[in-house]
Amino acid sequence: MKKGFISIVLLLLFISALWAGVLPQSKKTSQSVKNLSDKYRKWLEQEVVYIISEKERQVFLSLQTDRERDIFIEAFWKQRDPTPNTPENEFKTEHYRRIKYANDWFGKETASPGWRTEMGRIYIILGEPKQITKLESESELYPTQIWFYSGMEEYGLPPAFNVVFFKKYNAGDYVLYSPLKDGAQSLMWNYDGDPADYVTAYRTLANINPDLASISISLIPNEMTLGNTPSMASDLLIYSKIPSAPTYKVSDSYAEKLLAYKDIIDVDYTANYIENDFLADVFIDSKNTAYVHYLIEPRRLSFEQYGDKFTAVLEVNGTVVDNQNTLVYQFERRVPIEMNPSQIDSIKNKLFSFQDIFPLIPGKYKLNVIVKNTVSKEFTTFETGLNVPLPGTPWMSDIILANTVDRNPKQGVQIKPFSFKGALLRPSPRNDFLQTDIMTAYVQFQGLNQKLKDEASIEFTLIRGDKPVKTISKKLSDYTDPGNIIEDFELKDLVPDYYFLQVVLLDGASQPLLSKKENFFITPLGTLSRPWVLSLPYSSPDSPEIAYILGLQLFNKKEFDGALPLLESAYRRQPANQRFALELARLYLKMENYSRAKDIAEKFRNSSESSFLLILGQSWQALKGYEEAIAAFKTYLTKFGTNLNALNAIGDCYLALNQKEEALEAFEKSLQLDPKQEKIRSLVKSLKEKHE
């Protein structure tokens, strides 16, 4: 008995820690709470204290302005709205009704408001019980109430359970009953037995009220317990599962996204984060150009109806940064979508998959993609690492698993996402399959010498748990293209479960050289709804756009010699393209080829792109054509407004022409805009002293 009592005490300490963890009163954040205004402190510590997750609480306390807090509160309620397309938020309405009810009916015998009582807390979390049994007049029992709940499995709770409250020592307000902490003895006012003897206490209570005695052991009907010892599952229920119920179905990752992107995206979007699944992998084409193939599948895509048209407009923004946090590439896509009623009807129960592709130079990177729907003001995002190998490096790609393959796609010379060697794959980021599916695996090898191509073999193994269930071995030379491997797997003989596919490249002596694994899942469901796909291809692998992108990436990494032929190629093939011309002119300027920079900028001096005039002025200045430089800078200021660099450059050019009064005028205008330019201030002072 003593040994059992110690284990119960240890569990109580653990459960108490669980309960303390869900209450947002930690010392870590108490100072931040004190800094909140009354409105936000009340919202956090009274109104949502029982239903907010710890992550949500931490994010809320990290916000800096009332505007951010208001946006967070809006997002908080939206995440819990059962019918987001209707004006009323039924969850929010019901929550505040529960608070009012708790304040009206509980805590009458205490100085605390009803929401702070234990009855009030349980009522706010769980709502109205299905049944209440009041034992308030039995002479041998302290006043006791039994609240019975059922049908709340969706919140991680048992199918049926009781919550018991009693007036301890017949004084004060009702408190929550714990089978382990209190035990049957605490419900009887005249019981004087051993407090650790649960069995005797149970038998005594059973003689008074058998139903209450059964519940005192376990709050969960029909639970199997060891003898008449208190149920550990019951205490986990009241100290862990019930406090967690309000956040069981809520994905609080939106709070982190709101905090991360509040300074990047418009405030209209920050309350509308949509969860997603995504996939991003690197593959190399026949010209040794690496491409990032990616897809993102938001949990929903909202359309707005105008007459008989349904529209959505996607703005896709992506950034690629290297290990030194250098921005290597940034891209934007604008994708308008318009559908008629029959098209909307055909996709209404399907996910949406946005798929894209872009080239990337060798290196290790972090990719971040944000997709905004400008119609619904919703956004979703993902971030992942990328590794692009150097040419000639022995390398194995990640494994793509597809549920559908088009082996004769009508794409001409286009470069499409997840299209390899004439096969267009339809992967799912969840890697979910039916038993009736044929799973297609694609993997790529690069940098293999001829001996390996002739002698190496590849081994595919399907593994369930830690046991192989199927293995396929082939010579690499058996494939038409040893660098691009496609293999099909029938799943009909595999039971629904979680698996992974292991692919190993073996040398001629059967020694492993390269290997990768990919998880997948065979569902017991009869059907899976596959998403409808919207993808953005390139016209051809020889597109000047690809040369431009690769050249721009090398330029951003300050690899000017590598960037030059690519940007020159793009500009040569499309000399009227402003983007191509601008980056090449910027590169010439960096490489001090001022004549070529000047020639390109001169062609575009009348364009709407202001940078051409700055490049033109800088080039003339470097070539000592100061009057031409001044003319270019002044044209810039007339067309595009004030610019400190242009004003200071005009001053420098006038100084070079020994026109000191004009130089002084330009520098003084610059100081009016930014008085903190100490170098310019010293120069102005020196010019004035010489003039006097």
Residues 280, 388: Cα–Cα separation, whole Å? 12
Confidence band (pLDDT; 50, 70, 90) for 24? Answer: very low
Packing angle between helix 544-556 and helix 560-573, nearest 10 degrees? 150
Lookup result for tokens 């960037």: 563
Encode pLDDT of 185-196 as tens digits: 999 998 988 888
Which among 242, 38, 273, 46 is positioned nearest to 147, based on CA atoms? 242
Contact 406, 387 (CB under 8 A): no
Distant-in-sequence, close-in-space partners of 433: CB < 8 Å, separation ≥ 6: 401, 403, 439, 491, 520, 521, 522, 523, 528
Which pairs count as long-range contacts for 331-334, CB under 8 Å and 24+ apart, including other chains? 331/358, 333/536
457-464 and 497-506 as β-strands: parallel, antiparallel, unpaired?
antiparallel
For residue 198, pLDDT beyond 90 = no
Mean pLDDT computed over 468-478: 96
The predicted structure's pLDDT at residue 25: 41
Encode pLDDT of 115-138 as tens digits: 999 999 999 999 999 999 999 988
Residues 80, 72: Cα–Cα separation, whole Å? 13
DSSP state of 168: G
Contact 123, 243 (CB under 8 A): no
Between 89-103, 262-276, 445-459, 476-490, the lowest mean confidence (pLDDT) is in 262-276
For residue 9, pLDDT beyond 50 = no
Distant-in-sequence, close-in-space partners of 327: CB < 8 Å, separation ≥ 6: 319, 320, 321, 556
Cross-strand pairs, 654? none
Contact 153, 171 (CB under 8 A): no
Packing angle between helix 644-656 and helix 660-673, nearest 10 degrees? 160
Residues 477, 456: Cα–Cα separation, whole Å? 8
The predicted structure's pLDDT at residue 359: 97
Confidence band (pLDDT; 50, 70, 90) for 16? Answer: very low
The structural domains of the chain, with segments of one domain joined by +, span 2-247, 274-535
Written as six digits, the tokens of 645 are: 């660099």
Residues 207, 7: Cα–Cα separation, whole Å? 28
* CATH number of 274-535, picked from 2.60.40.2550, 3.40.50.970, 3.40.50.150, 3.20.20.410: 2.60.40.2550
Between 136-145, 251-260, 317-326, the lowest mean confidence (pLDDT) is in 251-260
Work out the mean pLDDT of the chain and round it to a whole number: 92
The predicted structure's pLDDT at residue 197: 87
Q: DSSP letters along 105-146, please?
A: HS-TTSSS-GGGSHHHHHHHHH-S-SEEEEE-S-TTB--EEE
Which among 249, 250, 276 is positioned nearest to 373, based on CA atoms? 276
The predicted structure's pLDDT at residue 109: 81
The predicted structure's pLDDT at residue 172: 86
Phi, psi angles (nearest 5°) of residue 416: -115, 150
For residue 266, pLDDT beyond 90 = no
> Distance between terminal CA atoms of the chain?
103
Encode pLDDT of 343-388 as tens digits: 999 998 899 999 999 999 999 999 999 999 999 999 999 999 999 9
Residues 301, 653: Cα–Cα separation, whole Å? 56
Percentage of residues of the chain with pLDDT beyond 90: 81
Encode pLDDT of 96-109 as tens digits: 999 999 999 998 88
The predicted structure's pLDDT at residue 576: 97
Q: DSSP letters along 254-273, please?
A: HHHHHHHHTTTS-HHHHT-B
Lookup result for tokens 């938020």: 89
Residues 141, 165: Cα–Cα separation, whole Å? 12
Contact 540, 413 (CB under 8 A): yes
- Mean pLDDT: which of 68-82, 270-284, 523-537, 613-627 is highest? 613-627
Measured at the CA of 115, the angle between CA 109 and CA 120, to 5 degrees, comes to 75
Helix (H, G, I), strand (E, B) or coil at 360: coil
DSSP state of 407: S
Written as six digits, the tokens of 279 are: 């996939």
The predicted structure's pLDDT at residue 411: 58
Mean pLDDT computed over 430-451: 96
Helix (H, G, I), strand (E, B) or coil at 363: strand
Mean pLDDT computed over 263-290: 90
Which among 120, 106, 110, 102 is positioned nearest to 172, based on CA atoms? 110
For residue 57, pLDDT beyond 90 = yes
Residue type, 356: D
Distant-in-sequence, close-in-space partners of 269: CB < 8 Å, separation ≥ 6: 261, 372, 377, 378, 379
Lookup result for tokens 């019975």: 148
Lookup result for tokens 């794959």: 425
Mean pLDDT computed over 172-176: 93
The residue length of the chain stands at 692
Written as six digits, the tokens of 679 are: 């170098």
For residue 4, pLDDT beyond 70 = no
For residue 83, pLDDT beyond 90 = no
Mean pLDDT computed over 240-251: 95
Encode pLDDT of 302-311 as tens digits: 999 999 999 9
The predicted structure's pLDDT at residue 14: 43
Residues 476, 460: Cα–Cα separation, whole Å? 12
Contact 565, 373 (CB under 8 A): no
Mean pLDDT computed over 554-583: 98
Contact 349, 361 (CB under 8 A): no
Between 27-36, 53-62, 161-170, 275-284, the lowest mean confidence (pLDDT) is in 27-36
Residues 87, 277: Cα–Cα separation, whole Å? 28
Which among 353, 378, 153, 327 is positioned nearest to 248, based on CA atoms? 153
Written as six digits, the tokens of 23 are: 């209450």
Cross-strand pairs, 462? 470, 501
Contact 52, 23 (CB under 8 A): no
Mean pLDDT computed over 410-439: 89
Contact 586, 601 (CB under 8 A): no
- Mean pLDDT: which of 29-38, 203-212, 404-413 is highest? 203-212
The predicted structure's pLDDT at residue 525: 87
Confidence band (pLDDT; 50, 70, 90) for 299? Answer: very high
Contact 134, 145 (CB under 8 A): yes
Residues 129, 122: Cα–Cα separation, whole Å? 10
Q: Is the pTM of this model over 0.85?
A: no
Cross-strand pairs, 126? none
The predicted structure's pLDDT at residue 413: 60
Written as six digits, the tokens of 471 are: 């293995």
